[in-house]
Amino acid sequence: MGRSPESSERLLAVLAHPDDESFGPGGTLAFYAERGVDVHLICATQGEVGTVKPEDLVGYEEISQLRQAELACAVQILGIKQLHYLGYRDSGMPGSEDNRHPGALAAAPLDEVVAKITQYIRQIRPQVLITFDPVGGYHHPDHIMVHKATLEAFHAASDPLRYPDLGEPFQPQKLYYHTFPRTMLRLAVRLLPLLGRDPHHFGVNDDIDLTELAKDDFPVHTRINIRQVKSVKAEAAACHHSQQGPSGGGNHLVGALMSLFDRSELYMRAYPPATKGTKERDLFAGVTL
């Protein structure tokens, strides 16, 4: 189903880096865009930190330009109506020198980030917001900052005393945290050493500790069936070619295990607070227009 010219349903995803949308809730974004929902994306940084292959930088002066081009590609494929940048710098992984860069998101005052997100909420007026879980998926400081700021902005947006110069107050109806199954991740942590891989140093830059990720767990209240848009999500992810890791060994193992759960994307419902046994199949369930 194509998007209507002026949809009354609006979804806002608040994320941190170019590629978070495709490697994270990309299926959900594509699903709702196809359903006719106006889908907006806030990207807090331009992904300046990290290493890329020299051939990927051909035609670009710096990494951030490459990452923005990759995100523009993915946004078009996913059907996102509008992309919004907050203008911060990528902070890098926990403990890195990039955390302390004056322009880094992790170094920004929380109230400043909350104000920027609040202004977008009041402008876009989404019924539904999605963002990272409380540990930012994999403990990235930018993800955690976005989680904290989005949670506060969700409530601040309706308060006329908060940021009175940033638009008319508006209260979104629902807030969700995107999460993922840890069961297969725990199995991968046990199997990786057998393949000569250290689960403490994983990812494109060997800076992700899978053992720490496997300890986290969050309740799942909502499952979005993305089977009909899996190919769209895969095409969007392919836009981020500079972020694609090696396909063999341990990386292939984790990818294969996680693919067992790739028919649905999982969410914890933060607001309204979920009750025991809450099971939803639609982020807009119960939303009034």
pLDDT tops 50 at residue 4: no
Q: Which residues contact 80 (CB under 8 A, 6 or more apart)?
A: 21, 29, 33, 39, 40, 41
What CA–CA distance (Å, rounded) separates 89 from 68?
A: 13
- Residue 1: pLDDT band with limits 50, 70, 90: very low
User: Which residues on neighbouring strands pair with residue 88, listed in sequence order?
Assistant: 45
Please calculate the CA angle 10-15-19 and round it to the nearest 5 degrees.
110
**How confident is the prediction for the chain on average, in pLDDT?**
89
Percent of the chain past pLDDT 90, that is, above it, reads 73
Three-state DSSP at 208 gives strand
Q: Which residues contact 234 (CB under 8 A, 6 or more apart)?
A: none
* CATH homologous superfamily of 10-182+218-248+264-271: LmbE-like (3.40.50.10320)
272 C-beta neighbours (distance < 10 Å), count: 11
Average pLDDT of the segment spanning 22-40: 97
201 C-beta neighbours (distance < 10 Å), count: 12
Token pair of 204 as six digits: 């494109």
| Angle between helical axes of 26-35 and 63-78 (0-180°, round to 10) | 40
What CA–CA distance (Å, rounded) separates 180 from 227?
A: 16
Q: Which residues contact 159 (CB under 8 A, 6 or more apart)?
A: 169
What CA–CA distance (Å, rounded) separates 105 from 66?
A: 19
pLDDT in tens, 87-133: 999 999 888 899 999 999 999 999 999 999 999 999 999 999 999 99
Report pLDDT for 139: 86
Average pLDDT of the segment spanning 33-55: 94
pLDDT tops 50 at residue 165: yes
pLDDT tops 90 at residue 217: no
**What residue segments make up the domains of the chain, in order of their start?**
10-182+218-248+264-271
- Residue 215: pLDDT band with limits 50, 70, 90: confident
pLDDT in tens, 247-272: 444 444 445 545 655 789 999 999 99
User: pTM of this prediction?
Assistant: 0.90
pLDDT tops 90 at residue 197: no
Average pLDDT of the segment spanning 198-206: 76
Report pLDDT for 7: 63
Nearest partner of 41 among 9, 7, 66, 78, judged by Cα: 78
pLDDT tops 90 at residue 188: no
Q: Which of 12-26, 159-173, 196-210, 225-239 has the lowest mean pLDDT?
A: 196-210
User: Which residues on neighbouring strands pair with residue 174, listed in sequence order?
Assistant: 128
Nearest partner of 257 among 162, 189, 171, 173, judged by Cα: 189
Report pLDDT for 260: 55
- Residue 183: pLDDT band with limits 50, 70, 90: confident
